[in-house]
């Protein structure tokens, strides 16, 4: 309760969301701790082509100091995702929490100390990106950088590391512009609408895998759009501390102006706002703050701002398709490739389409599902590397290889013209 309340006070996200989300935070410590203890550091004996005379031993070792930079939309959860695997892998960490929401990360560090983590193993250094963030990624003792945030910032971090000659592992979970493909064979249009509403508008649309580009089969588009507009038009906008509120404010005035500017540009390019597309009037929300009315846009072409850019706020666009091939083409028509979803009752179609969608994290008939055992990361401008699962453990460690010669036959390269080389 305390963590959820503090997260809402920091970010403006609805308290109901954090109450549902933060109860799962311990699972990341449990999973990565169990994986490290049971198999993470298991050595291997790779089969050699010339196994008669040599044995090769391979084991994993920690990297050292890891610099972690986390965003404001999931302050505690994403910090936990990174810290848990870094510690399980035997590293020390320096965390730069989000400037807008550092408090729960600071409390987490205190709790880890109370739990027995030695002094200095987990350090939290709040500050701005140019000051604390750049200093962290360029520090000579930092062996790995792990970042979650926008694509522009992710590129700046890579450049900052290159500018000081750092050749170090770098994981970046960056922007997204997730497609949701709704086929005409869904179990129910109403269920699909409810799923799309959750995908696109939870957290006021401020997550990297929020559903943004809704692609609907032509034969059900009219019914789908009618139901979606009614659903979104009925969402409660207001005080995020009230459990009945559906949509809270955006994180900052700057973010509000950015979203407003993108929607206005999309409309000027031909998009039509079926609901929203403006600041809420007093009849929708009488509170002051960085509120934006939940928005559904249609008449959107792939070149339109609403399709081509990630609008990090409560806004989705709806486009139509006629064939499965066209749906896949539209879904992949993006420089991003993080999240994506498919709504269909056809299991074969679900597998077939998922294989061809250029997304690192996908769902069928659901959205936003996340588990410490399941890899998380994207393609293209959505970043590099993976969080979660054994893949994350491997990224926070590296291998050492030892080859032992087992034969007693003497070797003399410069005295034996037939001596082996490799």
Whether 173 sits among the annotated catalytic residues: the reply is yes
14, 105, 171, 208: which is the annotated catalytic residue? Answer: 208
Is-catalytic flag, 30?
no
Q: Which is nearest to 179 in space by CA: 382, 386, 392? A: 382
Backbone φ and ψ of 168, nearest 5°: -135, 155
The alpha-carbon radius of gyration of the chain (Å, integer) is 25
∠ CA 177-200-184, rounded to 5°: 90
Q: Are 189 and 221 in contact (CB under 8 A)?
A: no
Distance between CA 96 and CA 187 in Å, rounded?
45
Secondary structure (3-state) at 380: strand
Please report, for residues 131, 264, 278, 303, the alpha-carbon distance to residue 269 in angstroms, rounded to integers and kept in the order given.
Answer: 38, 9, 16, 9
Nearest-CA neighbor of 93 among 186, 192, 85, 263?
85
Which one of the listed residues 17, 173, 387, 395 is annotated catalytic? Answer: 173
Q: Which two tokens stand for residue 131?
A: 């000051």
Which positions are annotated as active-site residues?
173, 208
């Amino acid at each position: 309760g305390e963590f959820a309340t503090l997260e809402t006070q920091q970010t403006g996200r609805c308290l109901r969301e954090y109450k549902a989300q933060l109860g799962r935070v311990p699972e990341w410590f449990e999973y990565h701790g169990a994986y490290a203890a049971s198999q993470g550091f298991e050595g291997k004996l790779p089969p050699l082509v010339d196994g008669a005379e040599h044995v090769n031993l391979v084991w994993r070792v920690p990297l050292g100091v890891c610099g972690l930079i986390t965003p404001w939309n999931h302050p505690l959860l994403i910090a936990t995702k990174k810290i848990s695997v870094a510690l399980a892998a035997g590293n020390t960490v320096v965390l730069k929490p989000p400037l807008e929401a550092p408090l729960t990360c600071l409390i987490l560090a205190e709790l880890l100390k109370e739990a027995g983590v030695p002094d200095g193993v987990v350090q939290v250094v709040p500050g701005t990106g140019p000051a604390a963030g750049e200093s962290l990624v360029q520090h000579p003792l930092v062996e790995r950088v792990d970042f979650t945030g926008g694509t522009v910032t992710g590129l700046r971090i890579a450049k900052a590391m290159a500018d000081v000659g750092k050749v170090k592992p770098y994981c970046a979970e960056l922007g997204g512009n997730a497609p949701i493909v709704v086929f005409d064979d869904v179990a129910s249009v109403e269920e699909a609408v409810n799923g799309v509403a959750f995908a696109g508008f939870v957290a006021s649309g401020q997550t990297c895998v929020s559903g943004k580009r809704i692609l609907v089969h032509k034969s059900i588009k009219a019914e789908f759009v009618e139901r979606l507009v009614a659903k979104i038009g009925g969402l409660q906008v207001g005080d995020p501390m009230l459990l009945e509120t559906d949509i809270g404010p955006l994180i900052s005035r700057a973010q509000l102006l950015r979203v407003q500017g993108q929607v206005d540009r999309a409309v000027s390019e031909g998009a039509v706002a079926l609901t929203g597309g403006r600041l809420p009037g007093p009849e929708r929300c009488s509170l002051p703050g960085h509120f934006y009315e939940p928005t559904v846009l249609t008449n959107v072409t792939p070149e339109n701002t609403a399709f081509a850019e990630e609008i990090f706020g409560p806004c989705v666009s709806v486009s139509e398709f006629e064939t499965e091939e066209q749906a896949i083409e539209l879904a992949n028509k993006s420089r991003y490739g993080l999240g994506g979803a498919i709504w269909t009752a056809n299991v074969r179609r679900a597998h077939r389409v998922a294989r061809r969608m250029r997304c690192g994290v996908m769902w069928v008939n659901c959205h936003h599902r996340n588990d410490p055992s399941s890899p998380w990361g994207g393609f293209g401008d959505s970043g590099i590397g993976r969080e979660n699962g054994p893949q994350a453990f491997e990224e926070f460690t590296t291998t050492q290889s030892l080859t032992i010669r087992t034969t007693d036959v003497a070797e003399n390269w410069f005295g034996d013209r037939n001596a082996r080389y490799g």
